[in-house]
Amino acid sequence: MKRVAAIALLLAGCDGNMVQQPRYDDYERSPLFADGKAPQAAPEGTVDRQAPLHAAETMRPPLDAALMARGRERYGIYCAMCHGLDGRGEAVLPARGFPKPPSLLEPRLVAAPSQHVYDVVTHGYGTMYAYSDRVSPHDRWAIAAYVQALQMSGGARAR
């Protein structure tokens, strides 16, 4: 008997209109806000993830020792687990079954401009996902510079 009463109470709460929840349409008036409008402006400081980057963020910084040191550090953090410290693609994750990335020493990648490395880090490529939300534009340029240094050295291993 208690079950029947509980089911009856639950069904009484369903008015058949649960699909259409109360909401405001675009440009509808609303008493909830001081300006009387339902759509509100985004809070100050909100960044549109789809907006293009500012030109200053995409410009390559000057190549110097600090940029190379930063690139080496960032490469070690974000890239070495797949591409390896020498850029050959023989690293920890591919050894454990992840897809093997191309060697950064392949002729086609050596011939590619640093903008290509920057773009791949930004947007991803193949099975590599984008790092734009993890790596700042300056650090992406630093990684690109370090990758070029790896390519120039031929991935020489330290003795």
Residue-range domain boundaries for the chain = 60-153
The model's pLDDT over 63-76, given as tens digits with 9 standing for 90+, comes to 999 999 999 999 99
Q: At the topology level of CATH, where does 60-153 sit?
A: Cytochrome Bc1 Complex; Chain D, domain 2 (1.10.760)
Cβ-contact 67, 145 below 8 angstroms: yes
User: The pTM is what?
Assistant: 0.65
User: What is residue 159's predicted lDDT score, i.e. its pLDDT?
Assistant: 43
pLDDT by 10-residue block (mean), the chain, 159 residues: 71 63 81 86 78 67 94 96 93 92 94 94 93 93 95 68
Cβ-contact 150, 87 below 8 angstroms: yes
User: What is residue 16's predicted lDDT score, i.e. its pLDDT?
Assistant: 59
Pairwise CA distance, residues 72 & 59, whole Å: 19
Pairwise CA distance, residues 5 & 90, whole Å: 66
